[in-house]
Structure 1
Amino acid sequence: MPMAAPDDAKRDLIAWLQQLPMRHRWLRWAVLAASFAFSVASAYYFSVQVRQEAHSRFETVAVGVANDVHSRIRAYGDVLYALRGLFDSSTEVTRDEFHQFAQALSLSERYPGVTNISFTFRVPHARKLQFERAVRAEKSPLVKGLPEFAIKPPGDRPEYAVLIYLEPMGKNVVAWGFDLNADPLRRSAVDRARDSGQISASSGVTLLRDGTAPVASTLLRLAVYRGGGVPGSLEERQRLYMGIVGSAVRVGEMIDATLSKEVLARAQLQIYEEVGGEGAAKDTLLFDSAASGPAAAAAAPGDFSRYEVTRSLAVGDREWRLRIVPRKDPVDLLDKAGVTAILAALLAISALVFWLMTSVAISESRGAELAQRNREAALLRERLREQAMRDKLTGLYNRHYVEEWFGLELRRAQRHGWSIAAIMLDIDHFKRFNDTFGHEAGDLVLRELAGALGRTTRGSDVASRYGGEEFLVLLPECPFDAALRRAERMREEVAKLELRYGDRPLGPVTVSLGVAVFPDHTKESEELLRCADEALYAAKQAGRNRVVAYSADPQKAGARAGV
């Protein structure tokens, strides 16, 4: 019988509410509207989460695309460095030797998109006729059947950069003897390569072999100097400059060979050459997979630009910006159905609430009850969130949160080349406070230590109670020497504490601290914490109340001690 009493009270309450006059009927409609809005907002929230997950998945694909393109471009650059090495290793590279080197490269199989590799010889105007006669006098079978050699276009110029070796010759024969200095765009690339000693690039160039065909290529140039290597000064580079090795790359063919049809069917890739300033309006479009290649036959991409991913990569002395946009909605059909199901379920619940309110005529009471529940739920969620992140006694972050944060921060540091310092500290003789003054006094020491850490840390630092009387402070972008100084400040701040429990002084409070830094000591999060813990142990063994820096050799561990 006692178990049935609550149910009886509920039935009595409902019966009493049913006898109330139907006042404030508008309230149930207001609640219905609020429930509907909550349903829509919840569905919107889940749809945002779904889109964010879809964006993350697509970003993984896009990063893979960018990395593949970058690897391909680097391979093309390596060809030029190999060509320069060929000329550096010999006092004279003949046409036949250049041909054999090109044959060994297997350009069409290993470097798709490269239409040719070349060597351009520097010819002063005074040696023009002598140079032309020397080339015409060559006996190599490679020049048999070719048109009579002449520097072109005709005309006198102070200096010529003449394309003399071209592989494969074939369709590229129209460029044989072409003076790169006669074209401002090509001359700019030559001058930049000569003066820097590095690869220069010019994009959007139409090769002579392509005539008026709408096929744009990227030219890569690398200077060769007499005596080999790259002279140290600009003046020396200009004086010893002998010629240019180069290659021509058709971007579209390179992309088709680099990326699979499946990837291009999923993602639209646009490549821009950044020509100064910010924004695509000032950049030159070099390639668009939606307008060329196998992907052109696919359905036109929808408006999925909110998922776009952009990456920049260096191509010689130029920057390419890769814009990657999904061609299909990256949100899975099941995810969309899930959001719809959530919305339908929430709307059904809203309708049910409205029906219940109408049936028992308790709009006002029901509205107040629902509001109260919503407030309690919000407070509960906030408390649960704080409990999941914070240590209840000290208010510092807890171990679970700091380990999760540390993993994310370490990956960011690895990506950007930043340092992270870990300071592990432990209260010396903490058991004495509990045994002598009681556990409440020990709790007081822990809280005051947390306050001392708060006074000696930056806003970007993360201080946590790692367990018992052990604490961990993580300092992003903090080099080794600075971490040691910060640890010493923490030790000094704690040593200043003069604590009393009731009317009894607790005596001196000191800490031992171990310091380890990424990447100085290790490159893994678990290893970094282990190193800091070993340094802390060394501080304890050395007499406590001191800072010890981690060292793989315990005999070389550095320490700072408070006396």
Structure 2
Amino acid sequence: MMAKRKPFKAAKTHFFASRYFSVSIIVCAGVVSTVIAFLSARYWQTTRLNTQLQKQVDEVVRSLQKNTDSNFEPLLAVNDFYSASTAEVSRQEFSDLAKRLLLRHPSIELLAWTPRIPNPARQAFETAIRNEGYKNYQIYEQQTQGTMVRSSVRSEYFPISYIEPFNQYELAFGFDLGSEEKRRSTLEIARDRGTLATTGRLGFSNNKAGFLLVMPVYQNNQSLNTLEARRTNLKGFAVGLFLFPNFIKSVLGNVDAKNINLVFYDETVGSQERFLAFYDSESGKVLTESDQEITTSSYREWLCQKDTCLRQFKVGNRLWSVEFLPTEQYFGESTLWLSWVFLVGGLSLTASLAVYALRYEQHSRRIEQLVKELSQANFEIRSLSRISDALQACLSLEEAYSVIPRLVQKLFPLHSGIIYTISASGNIVEAATTWGNNLASQLVFSPNDCWGIRCGRPHLFENTYSGLACSHFTQPLAEECYCVPMMAQGETLGLFYLQAPERGKFTEAKQQLALTVAEHIALALANLRLRETLKNQSIRDPLTGLFNRRYLEESLERELLRAERQKHSVGVIMIDIDHFKKLNDTYGHEAGDIVLQELAVFLQGSIRASDIACRYGGEEFTLILPEATMEVTKQRAEQLREGAKHLHVHYRRQPIGRITLSLGVASFPAQASSASAVLRAADEALYKAKSAGRDRVQIAS
């Protein structure tokens, strides 16, 4: 018990002995007296302002609903026009009507006519539009990556056939509104209910946001009392496009919303995006980005309690809400300054004394923090330099994969990680090296399973309800995961994956550091891959994929030296395709190349992993068989000769015929004591085999 009391007593003594005690007394006395005076005046002001604000809110909402209904009248007019027309409405008639309506209602961005086209009538419909002079017209849809393609086969289509203004929105001409889920569901609601229907928030080109309003048009003189009748007799839809800036300014009209910002939300059940737009009363601008800064006042909580500043109104079939955010200017014009005089004066005096006492300590802490950050930055720079130097010194990818974990762990000591590589085919992401414990990611997965690779930028996952987890994550999920695509020369080489045992470890500095490390690793791996590719190209025959003559000579020298040290033999088989010139003359050189490739595959699959298969030149091949006696070498040669006869090679779907081989066999050190001598002996034996009638194995003498 005494041991527990001593730390508390020491801390208490230290507090009273420090300058914090006197500062605390000054601050407490000043704040308490200031707050009492301020709250008394503020209570009276808040009561008065609340009554004034609620009255203004109700007036704005009534005006919003009225102006919204007025903005939708052009769609009703188009519906009435089609219903009153006994004949098919022509393009010119629609254009004349639309221009007049757009002139009277500038909040509408465009008006369009979208007929219902059953699949059997699609070709005839497209042909009819082309005959009007639009030669490239077709019904198209937009893919997820944004490209426009011809619409896939569906039971019915809703293509835009009339649109005004045409020149401004020509790209939408022919777009099938039924090809996208949001638009299609809105069309179905309008069709089934027979009333106006509105889409949710939609994104358009140039980062514009808005919504579509659709009005169903049915066949004339038809009963529409049932759902089936409305679906059967649907002729098409009148469509209007509204962009949020123009629409909201239009519905606000002359409404008195001075110094009150407005936030519009979509409260419809099932809506994917709740935020619609933000109206800034000071600038008169309408902002549509959900992450933009919403300007409000700290006094709002006093006036708008329990959603008293939130109102709802109907927009077509959807329910919108508008939140009223009084700004500082609103309270500045409506507030008595007495309470602020007490608050500002008292707090200013208190703050001045407190700031004077604490400034030195804050300055000291700031210096300590800067020194710490500078030290960390220097450490990271040195570590990055070591990583670059070490990776540049690596001779192979395997060596680099073994070095990376030891280097990266110094920069991320609390994190576990994986370096992934993407296969040459681009369809597999596989772990090349790992470090740390309890990794929550699969070792092999598809590139589409990672949001970082799919989006081409780093993806941070936090284990919360709103966190977007990659499909390659495993259970239990890590608290934080960071996926950084490793890019080099415009190509995604792999993935740098990090995970933290707790939240808050991936600060902005750590994220930037991970991105820099990924860039260094990607560049080093790209250089190593290029180095291995160039090396492989220098020792491989481009046609057959076997080793070339240069590699044969280097490898044979190495194997003979090893055999001499270890006192064992090396077998050499020289192979020649019989009647290859005749085959080229009969079928052509392309057929000859196919025979060479098929034989190379056969040889590669018939030898041991330690054996070396090379293309010696033309139709000649050479095999090096380490630790093979003359008898074993001869048996292998006979097996190859017999196996080649069973090769079935086709050229342009025609069989070329049976392939036979002549083979010369030599052995080190039985027939020769050097690389050139053993090759010469095998070549002479091959010549004898061909002279003796071909299709045989000849042992060097």
So what's the TM-score if we normalise by structure 2?
0.38
Structure (1/2) with the larger helix percentage: 1
Greater relative contact order (CA < 8 Å, ≥ 6 in sequence): 1
Whichever of the two has the greater Rg, that structure is 2
So what's the TM-score if we normalise by structure 1?
0.47
